[in-house]
Structure 1
Amino acid sequence: MNARQDRLLTELLSQPTAPFREEHVAAVAQRVLKQAGIPFFRDPVGNVVIGCASRADYRRLVHDKNGEPLRLFIAHMDHPGFHGTRWLSDTRLRIKWHGGSPVRHLAGSRVWLATAEGYWTEGRLGRVRLLKSGHAIDTAEVRITGARNGARLKADTLYGGFGFRAPAWRAGKKIYTKAADDLVGVFAILSTALDLHKKSRGKKTLPFLGLLTRAEEVGFVGAIGHFELGWLSGAPRPVIAVSLETSRTLPGALVGQGPVVRLGDRRTVFHSGYLKVLTDVALKALPGKHQRRVMHGGTCEATAAIAYGLPAIGLSVPLGNYHNEGFEGGPGCRAPRGPAPEFVHRDDIEGLLKLCRELMRQGLHWDEPWQDQRRLMHRRLREYRRFL
């Protein structure tokens, strides 16, 4: 990554975000796109669509009879967090959690609070109640401990998440942050859009769409809202959903060992033919520097795309301390499985950027992904036919 990319990644990781409260991440994305002259717009549910200036442009791109498949890169702008619900006193706020979370060592945990204007103050968790399933926080109280940026605000304008020594910092090639999932994916889509625009100089229509979604952490709500618009239905050209995620580490998907060619998630496997293309691209572009497995630690927006009839593939950056739960520990972790900063590796992000660029090359064998393998099989049959 160059200095400009480093600055953009740090800026994105530093933004406050939670399900349905993605405005600061969206604002950074829109500013970067506008400065570069890359077309974009917001769809009716608030997702940021990159590569088109309007719904009409979107429909024209989707219905272009170009045989080159349209790559729809998807990443989400939210991260698990809470919304304020009501004030219990001048310094005690009742909250409702949205998305996954650690479930141990929560009392006294540090949190940040923000509004549509930016960071507001800090606090500490208390009186935590878990969901009946026990897999995440349901409700809690936040005791305000920091200096407020202004007067007390209406409870439902506040939101927040776990806080650490800084929104983002580096230790060697590791990047620690309050929220890497999925702001790293957002960064990859923006970087890919900037790279494509620079190379084409905006003079030709590219088979690229970026979709920065809202509220993925509560069940792909932004992606579902986009698919239900029906804008992709009846497309005469192939449309391939490419999910970009920051996914929990697993055996065979370790931090620092390269980006992961994601064969599937907890719910389903992905399109076998298009995965063959992605695998071939990774073998050529990152030989020995990528990983490949079913990432069953969670589900992703590729599942939502498949449910709405789109073929999907996926790429992931391995994530330490998934959803701020101290699986791997490290600096800032209160206790094993307690609140902890997420972390990713710079080399994995650089590998992800390279695979995104390579996937946009024209002439990949999307229509005949198994052609070379079939020729090999045919030669094998010819060689051994006399034994049949």
Structure 2
Amino acid sequence: MASSNLNNILKRLLKQPTAPFHEYHVRAEIEALLKNCPHVKLKRDKFGNLLATYKNGKSKSKPTWVLAAHMDHPAFVKPEGSKKKDEWEFLGGVPQESLDNGIKRGLRKAKGQIATWNFPVNVTNTRIEATACDDLIGCAAIVATFLELGQLNIQTTVHAAFTRAEEVGWLGAWQIAQNWPFGEGSVFLSLETSRPVNGAVMGGGPIIRVGDRVSVFDSEATAVLMTTAKEQGIRVQRCLLDAGACEATAVQAAGIRSAGISVPLGNYHNLNDARQIAPEYVMMDDVKSLINLLKALVATKHDGIGERTIRERVELRMQEHAGHLKAGSKLFK
């Protein structure tokens, strides 16, 4: 994808105000961006999540992926029924002292029923900075992937879920998992921006998550991610990101195979090293690498790239060593 097209997608999404339960601006922008994308159908579920499917021909990746990103970010919302001009409730994980200091600095800006921190969107060839990279970067990566698949007329099937209310406990993803619309052969792939920990670094490529603070993810799906990156020469990192938790944990708890990828994030939840409110940022190369990985992932069946399931590996070893097993077992008394 041309840099100008990606920059346009990023700017259009990152300038949208959002908060848990108030994702309508972001959802409308995603719908506008994908409205004329070839082979894409959009649907809103009963909870308000936006579901998308790119289907061109009968070809499918193996497994079939559900790319997921949440549309909300920690922010202030009007309490239900409140008529007071200055009454706000903050939804999302940020310390009260940091909130108070941010308000005193005049960083809060009201936009209808929500109020967000007031930072400009700045997109350069090296860095992306905005009030809410988490998780509008993930949303932008999915949109860019779908648009490029359509432009190239790639024959494949891939799904997407743009979810609500992640920041207050994965509520949108949980609703999707309880009414799973994507079939038994699909794997949920959470796309996040996350604080780099346990050896992960910004600029080192997207992070293929072993798991998060709450759970570990599907080992076979994670292996496919790693193998695809290796085969395509895409720089990635493999880490346990246990400084937080993501939607893959919620969906996996509902019995659906899940995995995760994160773009390393600076100033997570708008907190800098001094615990002051600041814009979030990611590195452009990390985002581009994520999009390249997603394209390779959904356009490949993954047959014949050397990745076997754990069951297949053990059964092959049993066949290979059957003679040794028989000979050794005779000596047991």
TM-score (norm 1): 0.73
Alpha-carbon distance, 1:197 to partner: 2.1
State the aligned residue count: 315
1:78 equivalent in structure 2? 72
2:216 equivalent in structure 1? 269
Q: Evaluate the alpha carbon distance shift between residue 282 and residue 103 of structure 1 in structure 2; reply closer, same or farther with a 3 A threshold.
A: farther
Please give the secondary structure, in 2, of the residue aligned with 1:93: coil
User: Which residue of 88, 93, 98 maps to 1:100?
Assistant: 93
Deviations, residues 198-242 of structure 1 (Å, cap 9, x unaligned) = 2337xx6x331100001100111111122222535xx4x511111
Distance across 2 between alignment mates of 1:87 and 1:241: 41
Distance across 2 between alignment mates of 1:257 and 1:373: 31
Q: Evaluate the alpha carbon distance shift between residue 252 and residue 23 of structure 1 in structure 2; reply closer, same or farther with a 3 A threshold.
A: same
Amino acid at match of 2:177: F
Please give the secondary structure, in 2, of the residue aligned with 1:362: coil
Q: Kindly indicate whether residue 256 of structure 2 is the aligned counterpart of residue 310 of structure 1.
A: yes
2:46 equivalent in structure 1? 44
1:141 equivalent in structure 2? none
Contact 1:102 1:323 in 2 (8 A): no
Please give the secondary structure, in 2, of the residue aligned with 1:51: strand
1:78-227 to 2 correspondence within 5 Å? 78-85=72-79, 86=82, 88=84, 93-105=86-98, 106-107=100-101, 108-109=104-105, 110-115=107-112, 158-164=113-119, 166=120, 168-170=121-123, 173-200=126-153, 206-227=156-177
Contact 2:61 2:301 in 1 (8 A): no
Q: Kindly indicate whether residue 230 of structure 2 is the aligned counterpart of residue 283 of structure 1.
A: yes
Please give the secondary structure, in 1, of the residue aligned with 2:216: coil
Identity score, percent: 33
1:321 equivalent in structure 2? 267
Distance across 2 between alignment mates of 1:343 and 1:52: 29
Contact 2:198 2:239 in 1 (8 A): no
Amino acid at match of 1:207: T
Please give the secondary structure, in 2, of the residue aligned with 1:210: strand
Deviations, residues 222-271 of structure 1 (Å, cap 9, x unaligned) = 11122222535xx4x51111110011121422111111011101111111
Alpha-carbon distance, 1:46 to partner: 0.8
Contact 1:277 1:364 in 2 (8 A): yes
Contact 2:10 2:140 in 1 (8 A): yes
Return structure 1 stretches of 4+ with deviation > 6 angstroms: 64-67, 371-382
Contact 2:138 2:191 in 1 (8 A): yes
Q: Evaluate the alpha carbon distance shift between residue 258 and residue 376 of structure 1 in structure 2; reply closer, same or farther with a 3 A threshold.
A: farther
Contact 2:61 2:297 in 1 (8 A): no
RMSD: 3.1
Contact 1:286 1:351 in 2 (8 A): no
Alpha-carbon distance, 1:173 to partner: 1.1
Distance across 2 between alignment mates of 1:379 and 1:291: 34
Distance across 2 between alignment mates of 1:24 and 1:68: 34
Contact 1:47 1:213 in 2 (8 A): yes
Distance across 2 between alignment mates of 1:357 and 1:40: 19
Contact 1:102 1:339 in 2 (8 A): no
Distance across 2 between alignment mates of 1:171 and 1:26: 24
Contact 2:11 2:123 in 1 (8 A): no
Distance across 2 between alignment mates of 1:376 and 1:347: 40
2:287 equivalent in structure 1? 349
Distance across 1 between alignment mates of 2:205 and 2:62: 28
Unaligned 5+ residue runs, structure 2?
Answer: 329-333
TM-score (norm 2): 0.85
Contact 1:41 1:52 in 2 (8 A): no
Please give the secondary structure, in 1, of the residue aligned with 2:167: helix
Alpha-carbon distance, 1:163 to partner: 1.7
Deviations, residues 167-194 of structure 1 (Å, cap 9, x unaligned) = x114661211100000000011111111
Contact 2:19 2:114 in 1 (8 A): yes
Contact 2:205 2:263 in 1 (8 A): yes
Deviations, residues 59-87 of structure 1 (Å, cap 9, x unaligned) = xx9xx997943211110000001112345
User: Which residue of 294, 313, 338 maps to 2:276?
Assistant: 338
